[in-house]
Chain A
Amino acid sequence: MRPVAIIGTGQTRHSKRRDDVSQPELVREAAAAALADADLRPAEVDAILISNMELFEGRAFPELWAGAGAWAIGKPCLKIATGGTSGTSACIAAFHQVAAGCFDTVLVVGFEKHSEGHTQAGMALTDPYWDRSVAAGALGNFALSVCQYVQERGVSERQAAMVAVKARRNAAANPHAHLQLPDLTIEEVLASPVIAAPLRRLDMCPQSDGAAALVVAGEASARRRCRRPAWVKAAVTRHDKPYLGDLDRRLATMRTLRQAAAVAYRQAGIDDPVRDLDVAEIYEPVTYAELAWYEALGFCPDGEAGRLIEDGVTAMDGALPVNPSGGVLSTNPVGASGVIRVAEAALQLHGKGGARQVEGARRALATGYGVYAWSDVIVLESAA
């Protein structure tokens, strides 16, 4: 694939309710920030990709009226929607459209305004024959899979709580993050109410209103416009079966993430991810999922994820900081969450991470997670 790079990123302030803005205004806020970061005028954008999960707001084709916020009128604009992976899939679509030579610059904007809809109702609109009655919504299906994972791997509640604390403390250094819980303790996580055993409230991600955007450019433009472009070294997608009952031991196996990571690492020349990556932004809707993803991404052998978090390997001062942004556990506007992962990874390579910057970051991983077991894996790299 021809070289393409991310040259600018932008995000809104994320919160439980953004009553101060409409959906197009939310889109505009993120798009304007990304274009400003890339030093690009709207007229210089060739095409736009939007990611959003429309039924969470109970609508169809929201890009038709929200696209104006991304200056999409009179330009090629499409919407990508694949559940939680919508944002990462939209980024990968942009990589392909630029690498194909169709466009020089593509603006990707992900957004969600959960407060204007009913997310649980939207998530309940799954397969009507088998899954709707047993696995509707993230909470129920994760509770089932986490039980299996805990039993198989021996992960403790305390180790999961450590993930929750890491995420929320990291988020405190991120001015965009929704949840701001800088003093959260493991004890507080363990004292939070169980909402679907073994998941406690603080094990789960929030529902956020927000948007995120980034600019993808071809090689010549990227070199001209950006001091440290975040070059795309690998972008791999794997989908899996759509029925929860067909995904036995889902978190323990997570074969889509394992295979996508293996392919991406090979493409990017990564042998040992903990050694070769400088930072990772992974899509972890549940604390236990982050532990399972450590194993699937090869950060540790199977069964060692609990030890990895205890040893601080994935902390900000560890060998491989995971989710300096605070992750999905701190900010989750679903249509934007994947874009945020990629934007945060690129931000680290641009050296614009502020208080959450990983010093000297040169190679970053971003992942997307959607439906029950769909995965996107993206590796970005800045020039040495």
Chain B
Amino acid sequence: MNARHRRRPGVWLAGAGQTGPAAADSRSIPEMVLAAVEAALEDAALTFDDIDAVVTASVDLYDGLTASNLAVTEVVGAVMKPETRIAADGLCAALHGACQILAGAYETVLVVAHGKASMASFPELTTWAMDPVYLQPLGVDFETCAGLQAQALAAFDERAERRWAELAAERRRQAAGHGVAPPRTAEEVLASPIVASPVRREMVAPRADGACAMLLRQTPGGRGSPGGGQTGNRTRITGFGWDLAAHAPGDRDLEQWAGVGRACARAYQASGVVEPADSLHLLEPSCHYAHEEELFVRASGAGSGPCVSPTGGLFAGAIPVAAGLSRLIAADRWLRQRDEAGCALVHGSWGPIGQGQAVVILEAAA
């Protein structure tokens, strides 16, 4: 990794916890969240009393609750504490928690996101996130938008569908044993039913239930380092960025994820990454569809060098809202297991065709 001047000090990852992904978790949302938070606290060797502030991520319509964070206020330890709720992908909660620490407002921030896809038909819910004047009346949802994007990509690329099938098969194989879906061969993926042409069912990351929690700190802390004990984690956030693209598919170039490019540019600038292909060792994208991974890798400028989603990414189980935070936890885990310095690019997205995009750069010392 190139040594460069850093514009901002880092924010340290102190501990992580997660439930799921599960196809259908019988627990309530607060019960899932409590399990994730307690696991994170244990990982960090901290207690609820150590938490200065909480940032949660949830979406009211997905939970069927107005001010849906009220369901988790107690289990995240936010009673008589500051809590902020972001209505976007959970990685954005981590970005905002990092902002709070960098602002000097708090020293320790708990970041939590949850999703329970088993409670409702996710595609049907997402029609209610579409522009109500022009798009919702057409019956458009996130899945049909993904189909439009895949069509645009495949129009002049006759190998595209086969490539996406092979990618989906590879991610499903990597996720086997810790995910919610069985492995599939590329042929099985190509033989699965079409959900939004040319996207087939097995090219879609299986939706799941789960909760993710991450403790962020101003200073190194937590016991998750390979050194063990209370010596502290060695992974920190050194840069991040997020972006909102145009809403209507017709207003966007569907052949690229420009929002990822803009978010990455902001993150690279903050962390001092000049040549991402040289600096990054791991990519953990939140790709809900196989074709999105190609878009992400291209937009990030990371090239073919870094390892991508070694545990299958969202094909292990895509938890609505918590997906990006699950990737942050996966990247942290991967960096912890290495004995050498490393740098990872973590991604979260929300909205149709990745309208909202967020990225985080993690760096781990040797």
Q: Does A2 have its Cβ within 8 Å of any Cβ on chain B?
A: yes
Q: Are A239 and B80 in contact (CB under 8 A)?
A: yes
Q: What residues on B are CB-neighbors of A80 within 8 Å?
A: 84-87
Q: Does B155 have its Cβ within 8 Å of any Cβ on chain A?
A: no
Q: Are B99 and A97 in contact (CB under 8 A)?
A: yes
Q: Are B83 and A82 in contact (CB under 8 A)?
A: yes
A55-B60, A96-B105 as given contacts; A126 in contact with B70, CB under 8 Å? yes
Q: For window 42-78 of chain A, which residues contact chain B by CB distance below 8 Å?
A: 48, 53-56, 58-61, 63-65, 67-68, 72-78
Q: For window 223-251 of chain A, which residues contact chain B by CB distance below 8 Å?
A: 236-242
Q: Are B82 and A237 in contact (CB under 8 A)?
A: yes
B66 partner, pick from A55, A68, A96, beta carbons under 8 A: A55
CA–CA, A77 and B243, complex, Å: 6
Q: Does B334 have its Cβ within 8 Å of any Cβ on chain A?
A: no
Q: Across the interface, name the chain A residue whose C-beta is closest to B357.
A: A76
Binds B, one of A99-107, A184-192, A200-208, A339-347: A99-107
Q: What residues on A are CB-neighbors of B45 within 8 Å?
A: none
Task: For residue A18, give the distance in angstroms from its CB to the closest CB of chain B.
Answer: 15
Q: Are A96 and B96 in contact (CB under 8 A)?
A: yes
Interface string of B100-132 (1 = CB under 8 A from A): 111111000000000000000000011011111
Q: Are B81 and A239 in contact (CB under 8 A)?
A: yes
Q: What residues on A are CB-neighbors of B263 within 8 Å?
A: 76
CA–CA, A256 and B245, complex, Å: 38
Q: Are B128 and A58 in contact (CB under 8 A)?
A: yes
CA–CA, A79 and B355, complex, Å: 14
CA–CA, A240 and B263, complex, Å: 35
Task: For residue A146, give the distance in angstroms from its CB to the closest CB of chain B.
Answer: 21
Q: Are A67 and B244 in contact (CB under 8 A)?
A: yes
Q: What residues on A are CB-neighbors of B101 within 8 Å?
A: 100
Q: Does B185 have its Cβ within 8 Å of any Cβ on chain A?
A: no
Task: For residue B107, give the distance in angstroms from its CB to the closest CB of chain A.
Answer: 13
A60-B125, A81-B87, A93-B84 as given contacts; A53 in contact with B66, CB under 8 Å? yes
Q: Does B310 have its Cβ within 8 Å of any Cβ on chain A?
A: no
B70 partner, pick from A54, A65, A73, A83, beta carbons under 8 A: A83
Q: For window 1-20 of chain B, which residues contact chain A by CB distance below 8 Å?
A: 7-8
B83 partner, pick from A60, A64, A239, A255, beta carbons under 8 A: A239
Q: Are B60 and A255 in contact (CB under 8 A)?
A: no
Q: What residues on B are CB-neighbors of A259 within 8 Å?
A: 80
Q: Are A54 and B100 in contact (CB under 8 A)?
A: no
Q: What residues on B are CB-neighbors of A123 within 8 Å?
A: 66
Q: Does B191 have its Cβ within 8 Å of any Cβ on chain A?
A: no
Q: Across the interface, name the chain B residue whose C-beta is closest to A67.
A: B244
CA–CA, A241 and B75, complex, Å: 10
Task: For residue B209, give the distance in angstroms from its CB to the closest CB of chain A.
Answer: 17
Task: For residue B103, give the distance in angstroms from its CB to the closest CB of chain A.
Answer: 4
Q: Across the interface, name the chain A residue whose C-beta is closest to B96.
A: A93
Q: Across the interface, name the chain B residue whose C-beta is closest to A259.
A: B80
Q: What residues on A are CB-neighbors of B66 within 8 Å?
A: 53, 55-56, 83, 122-123, 125-126
Q: Does B69 have its Cβ within 8 Å of any Cβ on chain A?
A: yes
Task: For residue A291, give the distance in angstroms from its CB to the closest CB of chain B.
Answer: 23
Q: Does B88 have its Cβ within 8 Å of any Cβ on chain A?
A: yes
Task: For residue B88, give the distance in angstroms from its CB to the closest CB of chain A.
Answer: 6
Q: Does B351 have its Cβ within 8 Å of any Cβ on chain A?
A: yes
A60 partner, pick from B98, B126, B245, beta carbons under 8 A: B126
Q: What residues on B are CB-neighbors of A239 within 8 Å?
A: 73, 78-83
Closest 3 CB pairs of A and B: A100-B102, A60-B61, A99-B103
Interface residues of B (CB under 8 A from A): 7-8, 53, 59-62, 64-67, 69-71, 73-74, 78-88, 92, 96, 98-105, 125-126, 128-133, 135, 241-248, 258-259, 262-263, 266, 270, 350-352, 355-356
Q: Can you spell out 9 A-B residue pairs with CB atoms less than 8 angstroms apart? A: A61-B87, A64-B244, A76-B263, A80-B86, A82-B83, A238-B82, A239-B83, A242-B71, A242-B74
Contacts A78-B88, A82-B67, A99-B103 aside, 10 further interface pairs with beta carbons under 8 A come to: A1-B105, A63-B87, A64-B356, A77-B243, A79-B86, A81-B85, A100-B98, A101-B102, A128-B64, A239-B81
